[in-house]
Chain A
Amino acid sequence: MVKPMEKKPIIEIKALRKSFGDNHVLEGFNMQLYEGENLVIMGKSGSGKSVMIKCLIGLEEPDSGSITVMGKNINQLEQAELDELRTEIGFLFQGSALYDSMSVRENLEFPLRRHTKKFGIIEDTTPMVMEALENVGLAHAIDLMPSELSGGMKRRIALARTLILQPKIILYDEPTTGLDPITSKEIILLMMSIQEKYNTSAIIITHDVDCARVIANRMILLIDNINYAEGTFETLSTSEDPKIKAFFK
């Protein structure tokens, strides 16, 4: 599972600050993600994990600090450049965020048809759609509507939609939240197989200690609005610091 890490940051966040009114969510957050690495970020609810990941993809604008993704400072990019960069970053939303007015096929075709620069004009999208669905084991669901899918299936289809753009980085926002333990395990195994197959780098935001144990090459604990602690699962889980210990009880 653990791949040898090449020490080349593909994402670098420096002194990130973000506030909503008087609520200071991030106060100098730093982070690097290296190629081929699975980085797990854990923190309490409302600690700013999702805000950080949204700043990273350009959905939220940080108050200060710099975010460099594949050598590009995302806060200085034009909209067209940002859209192009976004094709290299997949985002798996906590609630799957499938377009509920579209079938599974249309959900997967949607990003594909809009990135002619990366893929050219594709006459028949079926082989690419099928490949993405086969990767998540749901080829038979191609003509279903999102309302006909279970929670676990939705999460898998969302992952297939993320994979279809062949991203280099995948951001997982609480990928196992709301799923039963068996489905959670299936999703974790799927994430690992994808990382192995496509050599993607990933940031995984989770509360799930079991998920972190299995998937993390490295972990960051977001406590008191900063990256409070950093290390492997083994080092952090044996820490004597009460704030860190609280996560692994």
Chain B
Amino acid sequence: MDNNFKVVDSLKNFLIEIGELSYFTGRFFKELFNPPFEFKEFWRQCYNMGNRSLLLVSVTGFIIGLVFTLQSRPTLEEFGAVSWMPSMVSISIIREIGPIITALICAGRIGSGIGAELGSMRVTEQIDAMEVSGTNPYKYLVVTRILATTVMLPILVFFGDAIAILGSALVENIKGNVSFLLYFNNVFDSLQFSDVIPTTFKTFFFGFAIGLVGCYKGYNCKKGTAGVGLAANSAVVYTSMLLFIIDFIAVFVTNIFYG
């Protein structure tokens, strides 16, 4: 009986959470087009998010490119298909691995950061202080951050993809004596707009989800300092789940148009 109540309670809480998140999203679009516009804070957030994630995205991308090529090489050699390496790596990275890995890294790096920052601002009454001074904290803190993640994530993904392909090219250059020029020629020959456009479109949604969930969790943070940790943690968990759902929908829609 108790378990039944717990299930009903969890379901109720889940539906309430979905409702509140929807309201939060609706408010974003409402506030987005209402002046005044906080351009300075938006640029500051873009710089913070982009600049501070660049090294992490570069290192991860480079290692993924290296490892992916090293792991695939023996199998491709077995089938005499090593010449397919550039196209296989580039398509895999650009279509799927690059965006999802970069987005997951940014969910951990940026999403949790936003959750913790806004959460601590909430519990130390900084958000209330902003509101009583006649400034709209939602516009200043939330709109700028969601917009910044939406704009910066595609750039970070593009950068991460390029570094990953460079890592792969390095392995091929060392192990297979393939020149960088030949490798990149093969990469660009195999890539089509149908590989690049849907994936770029998808990364905007990834960025939006990271900013939205981070801000939602932080802005509505409760239960004192313990709530700050919870906000940061749940921002990462919920965003990661949401990223895979968006990815699934994006692949599904892409297959309808380009399948």
Interface residues of A (CB under 8 A from B): 54, 57-59, 79, 83-84, 86-87, 89, 91, 93-95, 97-101, 110-111, 114-115, 161, 165
Contacts and interface: CB of A to CB of B under 8 A. Distances in A.
A110 B128 contact: no
Contacts of A99: 121, 126, 129-130
Nearest to A93: B125
Contacts of A57: 132
Nearest to B123: A95
Contacts of A111: 133-135
B134 A100 contact: no
Contacts of A100: 120, 124, 126
A114 B134 contact: yes
Contacts of B132: 57-59, 86, 89, 91
24 contacts: A59-B128, A59-B131, A59-B132, A79-B136, A83-B136, A84-B134, A86-B131, A86-B134, A87-B134, A89-B132, A91-B132, A93-B128, A93-B129, A95-B125, A97-B128, A97-B129, A98-B126, A99-B129, A99-B130, A110-B130, A111-B133, A111-B134, A111-B135, A114-B134
Contact of B133 (A86, A95, A101): A86
Nearest to A118: B134
Contacts of B128: 54, 59, 93, 97
Contacts of A115: 134
Contacts of B133: 86-87, 110-111, 114, 161, 165
Interface string B187-231: 000000000000000000000000000000000000000000000
Given A57-B132, A97-B124, 13 more contacts: A59-B128, A59-B131, A84-B134, A87-B133, A91-B129, A91-B132, A93-B128, A95-B125, A97-B128, A99-B121, A114-B36, A114-B133, A114-B135
B126 A97 contact: yes
Interface centre among A57, A83, A94 (most CB of B within 10 A): A83
Interface of B: 36, 117, 120-121, 124-126, 128-136
A15 to B, nearest CB: 24
A57 B136 CA distance: 14
Contacts of A101: 117
Nearest to A57: B132
A98 to B, nearest CB: 7
Contacts of A165: 133-134
B126 A110 contact: no
Nearest to A111: B133
Contacts of B125: 93-95, 97
Contacts of A83: 134-136
Contacts of B120: 100
Contacts of A110: 130, 133, 135
Contacts of A91: 129, 132
Contacts of B129: 91, 93, 97-99
Nearest to B40: A113
Contacts of B131: 59, 86
Nearest to B129: A97
Contacts of B36: 114
A95 B134 contact: no
